[in-house]
Amino acid sequence: MFGLKGDWSLDVKERYFTIDNYCGAQPRWCTGCGDLGILTAIHRTCRDAQVLPEKTVAVSGIGCSSRLPHYMKTYGFHGLHGRALPIACGVKSRRPDLDIWVATGDGDCFSIGGCHWIHALRYNMDMTVLVFDNGIYGLTKKQTSPTTPLEFLTNTHPDGVQLPPLNPLTVTLGVNNISFVAQIVDWNVPLMNAVIKAAHDHKGTSFVRIIQRCPVYSEEFSKSIQDDPSRLLLLTHENGIQVDDAVKRMFQNTQEHDPSNIHEARMLAEDASLLPMGLLYHNPDAVRYDELSAVGLGMSVEEKMAGLNTALDHFAI
């Protein structure tokens, strides 16, 4: 091939990560559990974004969903029940350079972790929060959770749940300074991948509620939705989640919804007849507390001691 001009050199990156670089231990979730698909979506998102494994942290509380840090080949923190979000906020506050994923469940987040959930949303630190919602306490074998449907039989309510379930979307959309609120189902893989990618790209707290299958303890929770696709409403907009026509054809109902319109987002969340899928609200200009709390991170030990002593001097008598 003499006489031809060509540059045959390849622009090879110093480090390139495959999905295997993010896969940790072999998952021990039940066959058919929706957690498996969510984990795969996280691995794929990390691979596509080429995040550094040593700069990534998976944080969780307690529950089936909270086993996720074991299945990530990154740093991880398997915390106490309901405490995933304050742990994640603490990590982000002192190490704003790290990529934070939070895996929590409907019981872990909305029940014992309820106050932490609300304040973490208000802090709006840069992290991706995925709530695996199967409407039951799965790890402790079928107790009622905040999102268990009315009249559903559980071990704590053998005659049926008597109170209507909590609506995570209406609660979230009522908190000041929120910046990203989305909802998906685990069995629509293309939409789930697109939403989790958008959540990870967002700078702030991305809150994603994932309606998730539990084939052992709450199969009816998700099966009723799977058997009746007319209950799902796909939200479309040029500023929302972009999916191709093949994905749109999976939905009987679609609606144009501007994710900057929080009032319409609240109306969609309150409508019990349809479950909105996609991005309900997005405000990239919301204040991020991790940017405020990062002040002074570059101080030396001597400077910190001097500042501490100066502060303590105010209490001298």
Say if 100 falls within a structural domain. yes
Say if 76 falls within a structural domain. yes
- In this prediction, residue 7 has a pLDDT band, given cuts at 50, 70 and 90, of low
Task: Give 105-159 as a 3 state SS string.
Answer: EHHHHHCCCHHHHHHHHHHCCCEEEEEEECCCECCCCCECCCCCCCCCCCCCCCC
Residue 90: predicted pLDDT: 96
Tell me how far CA of residue 311 lies from CA of 240, 297, 306, 315, in angstroms.
47, 17, 9, 8
**Edge-to-edge strand order for the sheet containing 180-185?**
75-78, 56-60, 99-105, 127-133, 205-211, 180-185, 275-282, 232-236, 253-256
**pLDDT of 1 strictly over 90:** no
- In this prediction, residue 102 has a pLDDT band, given cuts at 50, 70 and 90, of very high
- In this prediction, residue 124 has a pLDDT band, given cuts at 50, 70 and 90, of very high
Say if 252 falls within a structural domain. yes
pTM of the model: 0.92
Say if 109 falls within a structural domain. yes
The C-alpha atoms of residue 61 and residue 190 are separated, in whole angstroms, by 27
Say if 72 falls within a structural domain. yes
Say if 310 falls within a structural domain. no
**pLDDT of 59 strictly over 80:** yes
Each residue's pLDDT tens digit, 272-313: 999 999 999 999 999 999 999 888 888 899 998 998 999 999
Residue 5: predicted pLDDT: 58
pLDDT: which is higher, 6 or 181: 181
Residue 165: predicted pLDDT: 97
Residue 9: predicted pLDDT: 62
Say if 282 falls within a structural domain. yes
- Structural domains counted in the chain: 1
User: Average model confidence (pLDDT) for the chain?
Assistant: 94
Residue 295: predicted pLDDT: 82
252 close to 246: Cβ distance less than 8 angstroms:
no
Residue 12: predicted pLDDT: 60
Backbone angles phi, psi at 71, to 5 degrees: -100, 10
Give the CATH number for residue 165.
3.40.50.970
The C-alpha atoms of residue 162 and residue 156 are separated, in whole angstroms, by 11
Say if 12 falls within a structural domain. no
Residue 219: predicted pLDDT: 92
Nearest C-alpha neighbor of 30 from the set 68, 77, 57, 64: 64
Residue 14: predicted pLDDT: 81
Query: Whole domain around residue 43: which residue ranges?
Result: 19-288
**pLDDT of 13 strictly over 90:** no
